[in-house]
Amino acid sequence: MNSLTKIMDFNNEFVANEDYRPLATTKHPSKELVIVSCMDTRLTELLPKAMNIANGDAKIIKVAGAVINHPFGSVMRSILVAVHALGAEEVMVIGHDDCGMANTQPDQLLSKMIDGGVDPSTIEMLEHAGLNFQELLKGFDSIEASVEDSVQMVRNHPLIPKRIKVSGLVINPETGALRVVVDGYQPN
């Protein structure tokens, strides 16, 4: 049985049993918080539990490496919507130790794409059209520096009000221990 079939079977039962009722909440984050976190599977349940975040408490944006790499990309758009339309007053960028994006090499990812069936001429065409794969696929050397860079992008964004607190943290994906990299309650 494939994943979609399993999910749909479970979902039909979930809805029929009204298991959604205890999860009811509004679209506004009750803790007025936006979290930008890595998509690492170890964090799916660990991060909210380690932070005492329940359903409805925060907007959680998951992206490879918890990296905000463009001031007008989809991650920043989500933060802007959370702040200006949904009442968020605080943003936390939370990276993690042992991140797969650490030291990621764009050339190795491109090779894996080709090995996985992407036509090399497609990559070449996209490069000629202006796509910089070295920039798009690069990793980072230091999770702390990466978190700080993303925090600074949010803090210095022309559409983020100065009243918004922006912090940066790193979580241990085994224990859930958090450490502060940038304290949003301290002056820039």
Give pLDDT, residue 77. Answer: 98
The ranges assigned to domains in the chain are 27-104+139-182
127: helix, strand or coil: helix
Amino acid 188: pLDDT: 65
Write out pLDDT tens, residues 25-46: 999 999 999 999 999 999 999 9
Instruction: Output the pLDDT for position 76.
Output: 97
- 3-state class (DSSP) for residue 166: strand
The CATH H-level (homologous superfamily) assignment of domain 27-104+139-182 is: Carbonic anhydrase (3.40.1050.10)
C-alpha closest to that of 184 among 159, 152, 138, 149: 152
Looking at residue 167, its pLDDT comes to 98
What's the half-sphere exposure (Cβ side, CA atoms, 13 Å) at 126?
12
Q: Which two tokens stand for residue 40?
A: 């690492």
Residue ranges in the chain whose pLDDT is less than 70:
188
Prediction pTM value = 0.91
Residue 11 parent element (H or E) = helix 3-16
Q: Read off the pLDDT of residues 136-146 as tens digits, 9 standing for 90 and up.
A: 898 899 999 99
| Alpha carbon separation from 20 to 15, 47, 70, 116, 127 (Å, rounded) | 7, 21, 35, 38, 46
The candidate with the shortest Cα–Cα distance to 33, out of 152, 147, 154, 165, is 165
Structure tokens of 157?
């964004």
Contacts of 161 (CB under 8 A, 6+ apart): 83
- Token digits for 142? 């230091």
